[in-house]
Amino acid sequence: ETGVTQTPRHLVMGMTNKKSLKCEQHLGHNAMYWYKQSAKKPLELMFVYNFKEQTENNSVPSRFSPECPNSSHLFLHLHTLQPEDSALYLCASSRALDATGGYTFGSGTRLTVV
Amino acid sequence: EDQVTQSPEALRLQEGESSSLNCSYTVSGLRGLFWYRQDPGKGPEFLFTLYSAGEEKEKERLKATLTKKESFLHITAPKPEDSATYLCAVRSQTGANNLFFGTGTRLTVIP
């Protein structure tokens, strides 16, 4: 158990579907992140939230919509995705934006768009 | 533009055969270099943070070192359970909200 829980672990969705990814942490961290990990590519930052407020949107297409209702929960709402969006989506948290201890990652959601 | 290059892409070692992984970086003002371990089907697990050239950190069979241009992750007498992908990431002054990752080195330790 890493302290950051992501659900579901696997998701297969059609291009016209709407689904949501959930991330939860009870570490008392104040910053939360969404990363995308594709094969042979570096982890790619998508969104950053600090104390529930979005502080960074890394030019992510609008078909990805984040939501952070409180410092413990983070969602990623998905709609009309493309096959190239298939990837491992990782949630992470940290005590602060520039925490010395790095980030705590969840196990990810493996997304397949068909 | 911040850049992180890890080499080799993949490494196979016999159990007990020591080696090093390399992380070369170019950043505008380093505010931390991070090493993570990632097992298949899991998220990255934090190992070390290094901040200044000459700094070293150790954990069991792993030792991380830092110069002004690169970091090394030395693995001494590895065991099969050390098999994983090792990721390097940097935080820069201009990208303080972000860890910029390399593509990783996939390490396999053969019994």
> What confidence tier does A2 reach under pLDDT thresholds 50, 70, 90?
low
User: Per DSSP, what are the bridge partners of residue B94?
Assistant: none
Nearest to A4 by CA among B43, B86, B101, B40: B43
A106 contact residues in B (CB cutoff 8 A): 43
Query: Could you give the CA distance from residue B39 to residue B109 in angstroms, rounded to a whole number?
Result: 13
Residues in A touching B1 (Cβ below 8 Å)? none
Residue B44 phi, psi (nearest 5): -60, 145
Q: What is the tens place of the pLDDT at every residue in A72-87?
A: 999 999 999 999 999 9
pLDDT of residue A98: 78
Give the strand order in the sheet containing B56-59.
B3-7, B19-26, B70-75, B62-66, B56-59
pLDDT in tens, A95-114: 988 777 789 999 999 999 99
Q: What would the pLDDT profile of B18-70 be if each residue is shown by its tens digit?
A: 999 999 999 988 999 999 999 998 999 999 999 999 999 999 999 999 999 99
Which of helix, strand or coil describes residue B30? strand
B contact residues 13-42, partner A, Cβ 8 Å cutoff: 31-32, 34, 36, 41-42
What pLDDT score was predicted for residue A46? Answer: 95
pLDDT tens digits for A13-67?
A: 999 999 999 999 999 999 999 999 999 899 999 999 999 998 888 889 999 999 9
CB–CB of B101 and A43 under 8 A? yes
Q: How far, in Å, are A66, A71, B7, B8, B50 from residue A61 at the CA level?
A: 11, 24, 31, 33, 34
pLDDT on residue A99: 75
- pLDDT confidence of B1, banded at 50, 70, 90? confident
